[in-house]
Amino acid sequence: ELKVEQNPLFLSMQEGKNYTIYCNYSTTSDRLYWYRQDPGKSLESLFVLLSNGAVKQEGRLMASLDTKARLSTLHITAAVHDLSATYFCAVDSYNFNKFYFGSGTKLNVKP
């Protein structure tokens, strides 16, 4: 079964600092999804990465995909408190009939 591993699982950082969340997956896939979940809320789509080398940026977040390494990164630049949330990556199965989410990275940005 396809496995999706995120690290770190917990991340506490100061405002203004940079950090990267990593998402590894265990099978070939050329698409990767990032979602954000605020406490007690549902998931919100952040990025859809559809090919090797894809890079997308929105505000202080930038996501990239390396399908050969089976790795996606979510880079946070100059973190602010509003970015505190849990971030999930997800991939779909080879036949697009199943979806696999990582365990999530709980980010806490301290003022």
Partner 1 sequence: GAGVSQSPSNKVTEKGKDVELRCDPISGHTALYWYRQSLGQGLEFLIYFQGNSAPDKSGLPSDRFSAERTGGSVSTLTIQRTQQEDSAVYLCASSLQAPRVGQPQHFGDGTRLSIL
In the complex, the residues that contact partner 1 under the rule CB under 8 A are 31, 33, 35, 41-45, 48, 50, 88, 90, 92, 95-104
State the nearest-atom distance from the C-beta of 53 to partner 1, in Å: 15
State the nearest-atom distance from the C-beta of 16 to partner 1, in Å: 28
- Give the integer Cα–Cα distance in Å for 43 and 7: 19
CB-based contacts of 101, cutoff 8 Å, min separation 6: 4, 35, 88, 89, 90
**Pick 39 or 111: Cβ nearer partner 1:** 39
Of 103, 109, 99, the closest CA to residue 48 belongs to 99
State the nearest-atom distance from the C-beta of 82 to partner 1, in Å: 20
**Pick 14 or 93: Cβ nearer partner 1:** 93
State the nearest-atom distance from the C-beta of 48 to partner 1, in Å: 5
The Cβ of residue 65 has, within 10 Å, a number of other Cβ atoms equal to 27
Of 102, 103, 72, 105, the closest CA to residue 87 belongs to 105
**Pick 25 or 88: Cβ nearer partner 1:** 88
